[in-house]
Copies of this chain bind each other. A is one copy, B any other.
Amino acid sequence: MKKNLIFAQSGGPTSVINASCYGIISEAKKYGIKIFAAKFGVEGILKDNLINMTDIDENDLNLLKFSPSAAFGSCRHKLENEDFQKISETFDKYQIGYFLCIGGNDSMDTAHRLSEHMKKTGRDISIIGIPKTIDNDLTNTHFCPGYGSAAKFIATNVREMALDAEVYDKNIVTIVEVMGRDSGFLAAAGALAKDEIVDSPHLIYLPEVPFEKDSFLSDVERVFKNMGKVFIVTSEGLKDKSGNYAHLREAKADAFGNIQMGGIGRYLEHLVNQNISKRVKVIELSIIQRCAAHTVSQVDNDTAVMVGKTGVDKIMNGVSDIMISIRKTDKGFEPGAVPLSQVANHTKPFPLEWIDNKNRWVTKEAIDYMLPLIQGQVKVPYVNGLPKYIRFI
């Protein structure tokens, strides 16, 4: 008897995680098996909360390809050993033989430990990881689906905000805070905004470089004097030399006082206000940068579909305990495979050699790496002037 397939979404959503689900479902249909989705990630498996997607309507499947967020829900549940038994029971009940787990490095760890458990308990369950994260911090893959679209959104909006910020002939400091607690890939994407018309951003701050207040202020002062305005892109996760978040340390020091710290953007504003200029604008891109599906990168969407499809083909052909990776070739981006153990719990920082510390900028290598990931505009289905999306929770 044929065994069935289940997939689960995990961790923070992206604009293209559902494109991977589209890839999984459309490919798995070819094998004539039942296809289940776990609701709210592995919690759905633990709680026997599944959706049978085998007979999904073609139109809904197409909408899924372009919908943001996690259409089946997600969770941040870290699997304990006692969870494994419950998962096995659900798998037995639905005759699951194939499990695809879409997520970042935490999820790859979950997938790997579960795979080990299945082997140990003699169950014939294949498990494959599908990469997903806007942070782009998974190792052993050229990039992670989700990053390309977030990078495109950040670059596009930084370019547009830079034009807006310079509309008055007056000094202003603009600070854009983007995601990335430990990884600078997202902030680095701000560099793509610069062209022969837009000379912003002027300064980019990444979590890979320890934040120093004095050097920050001298950077800002230098640009302010030269250009009459400053446009800064910063990762949310700047840390000092000791590894503490820069903005939290200051907030603590000021615990009796008047300032309720927000994120790093507000902290940098505070520093500029105190030392250089009162005219500061802070924009936090917040969750918009990971869910703006109306402006997804075609390359990113295509690659997200590809890793989903490849995951199905590999798992149906007996491969297990790997994550589908992405390789850059002359022909474009192609799928590869890497043992789950090699990606589980590892993170890839933004390469230090791509950081130009003197100019607070990134190197040409970094630009050349990022540009191919943001190419092409997806044709999202529009109904009555707005993008039409779907979800199943």
Asked if A4 lies at the interface with its beta carbon under 8 angstroms from chain B, I say no
Contacts of A160 in B (CB 8 A): 68-69, 288, 291-294, 387, 389
B168 near A76 with CB under 8 A, answer: yes
**A163: chain B residues within 8 A (beta carbon):** 67-69, 291, 389, 391
- The residue in chain B whose Cβ has the minimal distance to the Cβ of A169 is B40
Q: Are A152 and B385 in contact (CB under 8 A)?
A: yes
Q: Which segment of A23-31, A91-99, A100-108, A372-380 sits at the interface?
A: A372-380
Distance of A390 Cα from B198 Cα, bound (Å):
8
Q: Tell me, in angstroms, the Cα distance from A167 to B230 when the chains sit together.
A: 36
Question: From A374, which residue of chain B is reached at the shortest CB distance?
Answer: B385
Interface membership of chain A positions 68-111, coded 1 if the CB is closer than 8 angstroms to chain B and 0 otherwise? 11100111100000000000000000000000000000000000
Contact A164 B385 (CB under 8 A): no
Contact A291 B161 (CB under 8 A): yes
Contact B287 A197 (CB under 8 A): no
Determine whether A1 belongs to the interface, using a CB cutoff of 8 Å to chain B: no
List of B residues within 8 angstroms of A167 by Cβ: 12-13, 69-70, 73-74
Q: Which chain B residues lie closer than 8 Å to A165 at the CB level?
A: 287
Binds B, one of A213-221, A231-239, A258-266, A356-364: A258-266
Interface presence of A253 (CB below 8 A): no
User: B156–A387 contact, CB under 8 A?
Assistant: yes
Q: Is A281 an interface residue (CB 8 A)?
A: yes
The answer, among B13, B197, B290, for a CB contact under 8 Å with A389, is B197
A166 interface residue (CB < 8 Å to B)? yes
| CA gap between A12 and B167 in the complex, in Å | 8
A297 CB-CB contact with B under 8 Å: yes
C-alpha gap A198/B393 in the complex (Å): 11
Hey, which chain B residues are within 8 Å of A168, CB to CB? 40, 73-76
Residues of B within 8 A of A198 (CB): 389
In the docked arrangement, what's the CA distance between A76 and B168, Å? 8
Leading 3 A-B pairs by shortest Cβ distance: A69-B163, A374-B385, A164-B291
Chain A residues close to B by CB (< 8 Å): 12-13, 39-40, 43, 67-70, 73-76, 152, 155-157, 159-161, 163-169, 192-193, 195, 197-198, 258-260, 262, 281, 283-284, 286-288, 290-295, 297, 371, 374-377, 382, 384-391, 393
